[in-house]
Amino acid sequence: MKQLQVILLFLLALSTSLSAQRRYYDQVFTNVDLATNITYGVNASVLELSVAMQAIPKELKMNVYSPAGDTETNRPLVIILHTGNFLPPTVNGGCSGTIFDADDVEMATRLAKMGYVAAIADYRIGWNPIGDQTTRVATLINAAYRGVQDSRTCIRFFRKDHANGNNYGIDPNKITLWGIGTGGYISLASATLDTITDTYIPKFLTAQGPMVLEAVNGNPDGTTVGITFPGYPGFPAGDTLCYPNHVGYSSEFGLAINLGGALGDTSWIEAGETPIISFHVPTDPFAPCGTGIVNVPPPVNLPVVEVTGSCGFQPILDAVGNNDAMVNANLSDDLSLHARSINGNIEAFYPFIGLPAGESAPWSFASSSNPYGLTTDPMCETQNASHLATIDTIMRYFAPRVCGVVRLYNHCQVTSTKNLTSIEVGMSATPNPASDQFVLKTDSRFTMQHIELIDVAGRLCRSIRDVNASQYTVQRDGLAPGIYFARVTFKEGLATQKVVLH
């Protein structure tokens, strides 16, 4: 009797946790594996231009986070691009600007615990924020263009790795580009900048011609050589500004995430392009949420160029159909309903409202008041409950869209979290108890999407994706003897079947 009570209590706890513990929705892994200082490419940096008088080849680095103990080998990949105003911490104020930014690490860790592979990727920085107006605009659009090339280089690195052993266990058809602050400018441009001629608009033109030239800067993918010509401003003739990396692999990705970035111009948006999810503070004083002038942050506060933030471009994305998968899903969870009630009934846009004046990135925090050891303490804001709550909101809004709406990850489609009984779905396990394998079977009206095996300690022991059938044979494959619970996901909800292995 006592053993039965223990099992019943466990089943009650499990039924409570089932709707809250789903891979790609929730943190189902406890620990994360970290690979640091990975070189994903080499390209020409202008950061040392004033000293070296030429562009210097720079190794592009990333840190890769993955769920520890995971048996999946084809996992969705999220590439995170940090903020920093295209300047190093020694110049931008000292709180951010590297792949070690604390808020980036928090997000990457959470994503890995949810079952994703998350890479925080460096990109080339450097521009002149205190030059004259034309110089500020020209150097900034070139910095953003290099960021686009680097983001796409990182995508190709993973595709090349997948074709040569798949060391990171990713699915090359399930890639998301996640930009934070300045990184948001890059993820947005990467999603919309199809050809270099997209930049041939008045604000990015001078009397001498376009500010970005393919022969000089390389193509948007960074797969062609870019070399300066005699008289090209700021560089010696023949200087190489773009070195191709991983040529022959695709730069495409399935979804862009923007946290507080803006789009260089809404003319870049065309139907059929990558879906975008945005998070923005409508009163952001630096990156406008609507259409406005982006400014060099304090203490300089110089105007640079007109851009359009999330409040302005997200309705356009919905109107041209780029976010149709999310619009047509009509998500009705509390967070989605709340977002639509405060954003003008727009899909894929979460505005953070009611924040103190001057707040632009409520998710942003540093590991200490001086994370990069500057001689003058910049007094950076460190983690508090508000930051974590903001990131909680971002993850909760992101998960159902990337996982069940955008159709990037059809192996984790879930449209309901309703707890179903095995009787409702006609589910059985045969034989039970089992020795080597057992067959899970349901009524033909209920299609199993994926199956997870949970032990009595609540640990995820096996994850089987893309089942899409009403009958499936589960192999034992080394599972220890004991009681397990097969947690099965259907379109209609979740059901559990107890299984005993001898």
DSSP H helices, 193-247, are 214-217
Contacts of 238 (CB under 8 A, 6+ apart): 227, 228
Q: Within a 10 A sphere around the Cβ of 371, how many other Cβ atoms?
A: 21
Look at the block and give the residue holding tokens 């980036």: 104
Q: What CATH architecture applies to the domain 31-412?
A: 3-Layer(aba) Sandwich (3.40)
pLDDT recorded at residue 13 = 43
Residue 109's identity, in one-letter code, is: T
Give how far Cα 70 sits from Cα of 101, 104, 170, 332, 404, Å: 26, 22, 12, 31, 21
Both tokens of residue 157? 């690195």
On the question of a cis peptide bond just before residue 371, with omega within 30 degrees of 0, the verdict is: no
- CA atoms within 13 Å, Cβ hemisphere of 113: 14
Give how far Cα 146 sits from Cα of 44, 143, 150, 160, 254, Å: 9, 5, 6, 21, 21
pLDDT recorded at residue 459 = 63
Question: By C-alpha distance, which of 47, 60, 54 is closest to 92?
Answer: 47
pLDDT recorded at residue 18 = 43
Q: What is the pLDDT along the chain (502 residues), one digit of tens a residue?
A: 444 444 443 444 444 444 446 788 889 999 999 999 999 999 999 999 989 999 999 999 999 999 999 999 999 999 999 999 999 999 999 999 999 999 999 999 999 999 999 999 999 999 999 999 999 999 999 999 999 999 999 999 999 999 999 999 999 999 999 999 999 999 999 999 999 999 999 999 999 999 999 999 999 999 999 999 999 999 999 999 999 999 999 999 999 999 999 999 999 999 999 999 999 999 998 899 999 999 877 667 789 999 999 999 999 999 999 999 888 878 887 889 899 999 999 999 999 998 998 899 999 999 999 999 999 999 999 999 999 999 999 999 999 898 766 554 444 444 455 778 989 999 999 999 999 999 999 999 999 988 888 877 556 678 787 788 999 999 999 898 999 999 898 888 888 999 999 9
What is the distance in angstroms between the CA of the first residue and the CA of the last residue of the chain?
21
Look at the block and give the residue holding tokens 């797969």: 223
pLDDT recorded at residue 276 = 97
Question: Would strands 75-81 and 117-121 be described as parallel, antiparallel, or unpaired?
Answer: parallel
- CA atoms within 13 Å, Cβ hemisphere of 448: 28
Fold of 2-16+415-501: Immunoglobulin-like (2.60.40)
Indicate the helix (H) or strand (E) that contains 429.
strand 428-430
Question: By C-alpha distance, which of 177, 140, 203 is closest to 273?
Answer: 177
Contact in structure between 378 and 369 (CB atoms under 8 Å)? yes
pLDDT recorded at residue 457 = 57
Indicate the helix (H) or strand (E) that contains 69.
none
Give how far Cα 427 sits from Cα of 8, 261, 496, 500, Å: 19, 48, 9, 15
- For the chain, the domains span 2-16+415-501, 31-412
Q: What global pTM score does this model have? A: 0.80
